[in-house]
Amino acid sequence: MENQILDDFVLNKIPTKDLSIKYETNQNLIKSFLKQNLGVSEYRRLSCSIGGHIISTKLKDKAYRTEFINKLSNSIKNTINKKMLDKNYYNKWIEKSKLGSSIGLEKINNLLENDKRFRNKWIKNCKKGGDYIYSNKIGIHSPLNINKRKEGSLLGLKNTSRKFIGPNGEKMYNKLEYDTAKILLSNNLKYEYEKIFDSDNANGHISCDFMIKKDKRIMLIEVTNWDKIEEKCYELNKKFTIFGKYYKGCIKVVVNINKIKKELYKKYLSKNILVFSINEFKDFIKDFIKN
C-alpha cells in the first residue's frame, strides 16, 4: 500500500486529502509518510504542483473562475486596506503611485515625440472620441448630464471603501468620524450621516458628515484629519457657504484629531466656522445640550 500511495501522489497527482479517503488513513499520517520518503523540500514542491494543477483544471469552469477571481480580488483589497492603516505603508504607497504615474507619462511623451505611428494613432483616437462626445453631447461635464453625474457620484459615495462601522451600523471613513458619532449619541443627539445637498458643482451635489437638530437649532459638522490643510480648508469654506444657503443661521463645526491640527485649520477657515479637537468637541456638545 505504501508504494501505491507514493505512486498516486507522485505520478497520479492525487492530493493528500483524497489519498486519506482512498486508503482510509489519517491525512497527517500520509503527509508524514510522504515527507519521510520524498524529503520535505520535494514533498512541498509536489504539493504545490498538485495544488496548482487542481486549480488550473477548476478554472476552466466559468462559474468557478468568476468566484475564484472575486475571492482573490476581495482578499487583496482587504489586505491592502489593512496595510493602508499603517502611515509608513500609506506614504510609501503614495510615493510609488506618483513614481509610476510620472514614469507612465514620460513613456507616453517619449512615444508621442519619437514614434510617428503611435502619435498618429493617438491623434486619430482622440479625434474620434472628441467627435463622438461633441456630436452626442455626452461629455462628462455636459450640463445635460448633471442628473446622471449626480446619480453616479452618489452611487460611488455609497460604494466607497470604508473601514469603520458607525454606532448605527453605517459605514464610516475613519475612527475620527466614529468617535464623533459616539459623542453625539452619548448626549442623546440623533444625527444624519452624509447629509446630501444639491449643488451646481460637477457632481450635482455635496455632502456633510453630520447634521443634528435640537429644538430649532441645526448644527452641521465636518470631520477631517487631512494633512493638506490649506487645500482642505478651501473646500470646507465653499461647502459651508452652500450649507448656509439651505440652513441660515446654522452652527458650523469642524472637528480635528488634536489641538495642533485644530490651530492649523483655524488659520484658513472662515471666522464663522467653529473648530475643535475631538476632546474639545465633547465639552462643546455638553454645553450645546445645556443651552
| Interval 61-95: pLDDT, tens | 888 888 888 888 888 888 888 888 888 888 888 88
pLDDT for position 142 = 52
Mean pLDDT, rounded, for 277-282: 94
Band of pLDDT at residue 127, cut at 50, 70 and 90: confident
Parent domain of 231: 158-290
Q: pTM for the full model?
A: 0.48
Answer yes or no: is pLDDT of 42 > 80: yes
**131: in domain:** no
Handedness of CA 46, 15, 40, 56 (dihedral sign): positive
Q: At which of 20, 37, 58 does a domain end?
A: 58
In the block, cell 448605527 appears at 168
Q: Which residues pair with 223 in a beta bridge?
A: 255
Residue 151 lies in a domain: no
Give the Cα separation of 208 and 222 in Å (integer): 6
Q: Is the pLDDT assigned to residue 154 strictly greater than 50?
A: no
Distance between CA 278 and CA 174 in Å, rounded? 13
| Co-location of 169 and 281 in the same domain | yes
If one counts every other C-beta atom within 10 angstroms of the C-beta of residue 210, the result is 21
Query: Considering the domain boundaries, does residue 13 fall inside one?
Result: yes
Q: What is residue 149's predicted lDDT score, i.e. its pLDDT?
A: 47
Report how many domains make up the chain: 2
CA–CA distance, 229 with 264 (Å, rounded to integer):
7
Last residue of a domain, one of 58, 78, 100: 58
12-21, 157-166, 242-251: segment of lowest average pLDDT: 157-166
**What are the angstrom distances between the C-alpha of 156 and each of 85, 160, 162?**
22, 6, 12
- Whether residue 8 is contained in a domain is answered as yes
How far is 189 from 282, CA to CA, in rounded Å? 12
In this structure, are 162 and 54 located in the same domain? no
Q: Which of 202, 223, 199 is nearest to 211 (CA)?
A: 223
Q: What is the pLDDT of residue 155?
A: 52
Does the pLDDT value for residue 157 go beyond 90?
A: no
pLDDT number for residue 218? 95
Is residue 78, in this structure, part of any structural domain at all? no
Share of the chain above pLDDT 70, in %: 86
pLDDT of residue 103: 84
Q: Which amino acid is at 144?
A: L
Q: Is the pLDDT of residue 26 over 50?
A: yes
pLDDT at residue 75 in the model: 86
**CATH number of residue 213's parent domain:** 3.40.1350
- Residue 116 domain-assigned? no
- Compute the average pLDDT of residues 154-178: 75
CA angle, 97 as apex, 93 and 100 as ends, to 5°? 135
Q: What pLDDT does residue 279 have?
A: 93
Interval 87-116 mean pLDDT: 84
In tens, the pLDDT along 198-251 reads: 776 656 678 899 999 998 899 999 999 888 899 999 999 999 999 998 899 999
| Phi, psi for residue 206 in degrees, rounded to 5 | -135, 165
- Residue 150 banded pLDDT, cuts 50, 70, 90: very low
63 located within any domain? no
Please indicate, yes or no, if residue 242 is contained in any of the structural domains. Answer: yes
- The last residue of one of the domains, among 14, 43, 58, is 58
